[in-house]
Amino acid sequence: MNVPLGAYEGIVGPAVLRGLRQLGEKLAGTRVVHVNSTREGGGVAEILEWMTPIMRELGLNASWEVINGTPRFFEITKAIHNGLQGAHVDIPVKGWKTYEDVNARNFKRLRPILEAADIVFIHDPQPAHLLRLCTRRKGKWIWRAHIDISRPFRPVWKVLRSLVEPFDASIFSMPQFAQPLPHPQFLVPPSIDPLSEKNRDLPAAELEAVQTQYGLDPSRPLLVQISRFDRFKDPVGVVAAYRMVRKVAPVQLVLAGGGATDDPEGKAVLEDVLEAAGNDPDVHVLLLPPDSHKTVNALQRMATIILQKSTREGFGLTVTEGMWKGKPVIGGDVGGIRLQVVNHHTGFLVNTPEGAAHRIRFLLHHQEGIDRMGTTAREFVRENFLLTRHIREYLTLMLVTLHSDRGNLVEV
């Protein structure tokens, strides 16, 4: 996807784009290299897919490099990833050796571009070892942690920490996700692309097609939770909340997500959800393939209320997506949901199925509240969680990192 920056002017206004262009002028010609471990699939690749061309459009000499790995390498990095998120994983010395060897092979290929770069962004743990190998680097290296490492499994973090400490700076999505490190730690929350398949406006015909496909009744309220079938997303709790509301209001529920087929835990959760749903024709449990962006978009747009009743959550981009579609969100009082859902303004924070049911019933009786909160939610996302804010923060931190003498005020 290569959407020119100008396409966002109607959404964020000319002042925002003018600010980005001013920042771009200050950084014109800066050689920026992003390195991650996959070209397709996953949130990091999605970000780099739009960020690299926009940086180029703004005058930076930006490129995106992907390290190649063996299946064993990706098994090891998956274990590292899980370890950083707190799972007790066993990574043998041989496993770390594989990690280092694959990084070394990739370094041979990437050496010229990494040595010449003014700024290198290393995304997540997979390519983090490259810094140690690049002894002739002349630029600044920044480690971007996209995951929550607030409570890592210590043996894994101990090794990774030794790799990321020498970086010039790191970036975390929220303060809660960070670990103490001996360099500046910037905070850059994620964002959504309002023109992507998952978020762009959809014509009525496309909404109707999804409505028909899943047998949804447009005359009755619709509750939607989009998320993986994962216990921390509490889908069974959502069904319980729905049951409490269903006694008094003719609501329908959609629980849609992916990730259950290759994940034994996900499969078990899906089975629990199906059992909780029983044969209720108004509960739609949809196992969607990973590329169902348009279907997700349509379901969020058809929703009366968006739910994200997580008991543990990272940032919660599905909340951002729902808010961008002008819907109030009833979300779990955890993680990044707290940054987005503000009681009575953009939705409600809840702790139990009972709490969720209570707020759903309240909103169903107050259509004007649904409209008002939905409008506020969309504006809140426009101000804070669109990709233009995300790129502005990357450009600013590049300026700050390249010119560390600029202090706390940077004039562009």
Q: Which residues bind another protein (CB under 8 A)?
A: 15, 18-19, 22-23, 172, 175-176, 178, 180, 184-188, 334, 342, 345, 376, 380, 383-384, 389, 392-393, 396-397, 399-400, 406-412
What is the C-alpha separation between 143 and 387, in angstroms, rounded? Answer: 19
Q: CB of 68: closest distance to another protein in angstroms?
A: 33
- How far CA 168 is from CA of 121, 136, 182, 276, 330, in Å, comes to 10, 15, 9, 50, 39
Q: Which lies closer to another protein via its Cβ, residue 210 or residue 349?
A: 349
Q: CB of 20: closest distance to another protein in angstroms?
A: 9
Q: CB of 187: closest distance to another protein in angstroms?
A: 4
Q: Which lies closer to another protein via its Cβ, residue 79 or residue 398?
A: 398
Q: Which lies closer to another protein via its Cβ, residue 22 or residue 70?
A: 22
Q: Which lies closer to another protein via its Cβ, residue 82 or residue 384?
A: 384
Q: CB of 185: closest distance to another protein in angstroms?
A: 4
Q: Which lies closer to another protein via its Cβ, residue 199 or residue 376?
A: 376
Residues contacting residue 165 through CB under 8 Å, at least 6 positions apart:
181, 182, 183
Nearest CA among 376, 346, 377 for reference residue 359: 346
Strand intervals (E) in 41-127: 61-66, 119-123
What is the C-alpha separation between 381 and 329, in angstroms, rounded? Answer: 13
Cβ neighbours around 271 below 10 Å, total: 12
Nearest CA among 332, 335, 306, 333 for reference residue 321: 306
Q: CB of 411: closest distance to another protein in angstroms?
A: 5
Identify the DSSP state of 6: G
Q: CB of 407: closest distance to another protein in angstroms?
A: 8
Q: CB of 60: closest distance to another protein in angstroms?
A: 16
What is the C-alpha separation between 389 and 287, in angstroms, rounded? Answer: 32
Q: CB of 75: closest distance to another protein in angstroms?
A: 31
Structure tokens at 182: 């001996």
Nearest CA among 111, 112, 132, 130 for reference residue 121: 130
Q: Which lies closer to another protein via its Cβ, residue 79 or residue 178?
A: 178
Nearest CA among 259, 360, 261, 268 for reference residue 307: 360
- Over 106-126, what HEC string results? HHHHHHHHHHHCCEEEEECCC
Q: Which lies closer to another protein via its Cβ, residue 23 or residue 298?
A: 23
Q: Which lies closer to another protein via its Cβ, residue 19 or residue 53?
A: 19
What is the C-alpha separation between 173 and 189, in angstroms, rounded? Answer: 4
